């Protein structure tokens, strides 16, 4: 029998989001005719989190149709359906994953070359070390010692821990989306949008995208889908894996530019929205913290995403690491011993959609009330939200019909030609809207 969705958790989450954004409670979904649950099977309420996050964008943007649960699932697992010239890219480095230590487990992340090099250095291994060499080196150490050595060398690793309900409750005592209004000086006027097309409500809105990996790019990709002019800016010295940009770069232009240049300041001066996805401490060093940007440009709408939140401004992280340290990995264990994972990088994707919904809403509030606006969240805060939602105590097995729905991709993927390469990616999770082709990473000029 097809599982029906649990309306209560997703509706409750939507109500909390709407209250945070200063909007009326959501009643439109109280009796919505869902066809079935989002097929993201897990013990935690991953399906409800995904539904509510995508639905929040639809409601904020005036998209009346309900999203397709199957398409949401495919969009959340977009890295698994991406192909470049018919081939699936190697998504995970052999240095990324769960590794058993002498007294437990750790999770590492080495997908970027500089992170891989630092991880190997911390473990005393050479640049040609294989994944099995990493496994052997970690197995001889305690989890705490292995993590300390990797982190001290500038690499990324966390211990796999059980959940901490008291800490999660403390995190949930703060809003999932922290919204702050910054009054503008007298006479300060935001740049007006050029149009108000219901299918493209952000037409004329300029978005400066300073994000990487998944959550921030999903947010800015969604804004581009809704008509915004999105320019992603990356530092020239930090290359991005080509496949990763193809996965989340739809509808955006991409340029390479140092943040300390005069040209960057000119781009910033003409932006309506800035999306920040780097560590808060790194942004502060560059003069790009939300407070610094608002001081220079008081009518901006700023979305700031971090892995661990403002309490850990210097700490880098990714969805997989937050799952491991927050307790999610052990809740999703396949056998009671080995850590497991959510069926998608749901913290990333949900954070991206929730921030996009916030930006749309705050642009409208800026139009009505003036001022600048800042919205913040973190992957760890999204994890705390998920850990506080009702969960299943049953197995994670997926029924045949659900597996077929997830793997029946013809209706939920799109193919683009990008500079002679054939790219197949997940289609938009928002009903009635189609993603535009991604550009090549760094291939555009730094201009609006």
- Which of the residues are catalytic? 348
Closest-CA residue to 298 (of 276, 266, 265, 272): 272
User: Residues 321, 382, 176, CA angle at the centre, nearest 5°?
Assistant: 145
Write the DSSP symbol of residue 331.
H
What 3-state DSSP class applies to 378? strand
Q: What are phi and psi of 354, to 5 degrees?
A: -65, -40
Strand (E) or helix (H) holding 49:
helix 46-61
Q: What end-to-end distance do the CA atoms of the chain give, in Å?
A: 52
Judging by DSSP bridges, how do beta strands 229-234 and 413-418 pair with one another? Answer: unpaired
DSSP letter string, 144-156: HHHHHHHHHTT--
Cα dihedral across residues 254, 351, 17, 170: positive or negative? negative
CA 339, CA 357: separation in Å to the nearest integer? 32
| Helices and strands (DSSP H and E) totals, the chain | 18, 13
For residues 274 and 305, the answer to whether their CB atoms sit within 8 Å is: no
For residues 111 and 89, the answer to whether their CB atoms sit within 8 Å is: no
Sheet containing strand 413-418, edge to edge, reads 83-84, 421-426, 413-418
C-alpha distances out from residue 386 to 177, 284, 349, Å? 14, 29, 13
Identify any residues that bridge with 422 across adjacent strands, giving them in sequence order.
Answer: 417
Strand (E) or helix (H) holding 168:
helix 165-172
C-alpha distances out from residue 192 to 204, 338, 362, 367, 398, Å? 8, 53, 14, 9, 49
CA 208, CA 74: separation in Å to the nearest integer? 27
User: Residues 142, 396, 403, CA angle at the centre, nearest 5°?
Assistant: 125
Look at the chain and count its residues: 448
CA of residue 23 relative to chain centroid, distance: 23
């Amino acid at each position: 029998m097809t599982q029906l969705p649990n309306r209560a958790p997703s509706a409750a989450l939507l109500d909390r989001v709407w209250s945070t954004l200063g909007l009326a409670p959501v009643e439109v979904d109280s009796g919505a005719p869902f066809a079935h649950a989002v097929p993201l099977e897990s013990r935690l309420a991953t399906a409800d989190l995904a539904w509510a996050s995508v639905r929040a964008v639809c409601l904020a943007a005036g998209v009346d149709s309900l999203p397709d649960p199957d398409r949401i699932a495919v969009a959340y697992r977009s890295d698994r359906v991406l192909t470049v010239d018919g081939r699936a890219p190697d998504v995970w480095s052999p240095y990324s994953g769960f590794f058993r230590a002498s007294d437990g487990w750790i999770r590492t992340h080495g997908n970027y070359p500089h992170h891989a090099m630092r991880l190997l250095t911390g473990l005393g291994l050479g640049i040609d070390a294989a994944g099995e060499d990493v496994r052997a080196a970690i197995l001889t150490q305690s989890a705490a010692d292995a993590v300390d050595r990797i982190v001290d060398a500038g690499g990324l690793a966390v211990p796999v821990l059980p959940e901490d309900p008291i800490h999660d409750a403390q995190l949930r005592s703060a809003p999932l989306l922290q919204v702050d209004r910054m009054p503008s000086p007298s006479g300060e006027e935001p740049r007006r949008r050029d149009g108000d097309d219901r299918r493209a409500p952000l037409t004329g809105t300029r978005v400066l995208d300073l994000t990487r990996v998944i959550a921030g790019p999903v947010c800015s990709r969604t804004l581009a889908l809704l008509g915004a002019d999105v320019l992603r800016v990356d530092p020239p010295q930090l290359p991005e894996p080509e496949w990763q940009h193809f996965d989340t770069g739809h509808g955006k232009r991409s340029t390479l530019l140092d943040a300390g240049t005069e040209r960057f300041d000119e781009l910033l001066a003409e932006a309506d929205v800035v999306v920040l996805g780097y560590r808060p401490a790194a942004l502060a060093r560059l003069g790009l913290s939300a407070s610094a940007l608002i001081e220079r440009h008081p009518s901006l709408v700023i979305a700031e995403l971090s892995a661990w939140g403002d309490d850990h401004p210097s700490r880098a992280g990714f969805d997989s690491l937050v799952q491991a340290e927050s307790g999610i990995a052990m809740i999703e264990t396949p056998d009671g011993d080995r850590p497991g994972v959510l069926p998608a990088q749901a913290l990333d994707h949900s954070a991206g959609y929730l921030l996009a919904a916030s930006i749309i809403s705050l642009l409208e509030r800026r139009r009505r009330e003036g001022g600048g606006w800042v919205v913040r969240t973190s992957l760890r805060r999204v994890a705390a939200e998920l850990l506080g939602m009702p969960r299943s105590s049953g197995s994670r097995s997926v029924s045949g019909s659900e597996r077929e729905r997830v793997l029946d991709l013809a209706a939920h993927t799109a193919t683009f030609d990008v500079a002679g390469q054939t790219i197949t990616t997940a289609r938009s999770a928002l009903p009635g809207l189609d993603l535009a082709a991604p550009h090549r990473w760094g291939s555009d000029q730094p201009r609006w």
